[in-house]
Amino acid sequence: MNGVCVRWRGWLDLERLDGVGCLEYNEERAAQEDALLREQIDRYNQRLKEFEDKQRGYRPPDHHRTSAAAAAEQDLEVRHHHLHHSAAAGVGPSPLQRQYMKLF
């Protein structure tokens, strides 16, 4: 009965392992548990908002891309640029450059 506010009512004979019982919903305890849960969620949301506000102060303007991803993209653009210039000069890409082009 995890997460449910209930009360067990009944009797048990421990010698015969016999008895009668039932579970009753405890509205008063459920209201208390609900209030505690709502307070906990409000505190969590407040801490999350404070954390996000704090993180916003540390992020660069282009925060959706990591610096490693931006560096990798820039490296790829430079290699692509060099491949075009070597082809325009009448020199084809080297076997290593061809293999690199196949990978990307």
Instruction: Convert the pLDDT of each residue in 46-85 to its tens digit.
Output: 999 999 998 888 776 655 555 666 666 666 565 555 555 5
pTM for this structure? Answer: 0.42
Residue 5: closest CA among 40, 41, 37: 37
At 104, is the pLDDT very low, low, confident or very high (cuts 50, 70, 90)? Answer: very low
68 or 13, higher pLDDT: 13
Q: Show the tokens assigned to 76.
A: 């790829």
**3-state secondary structure labels for all residues of 56-84:** HHHCCCCCCCCHHHHHHHHHHHHHHHHHH
Over residues 15-29, the mean pLDDT reads 92
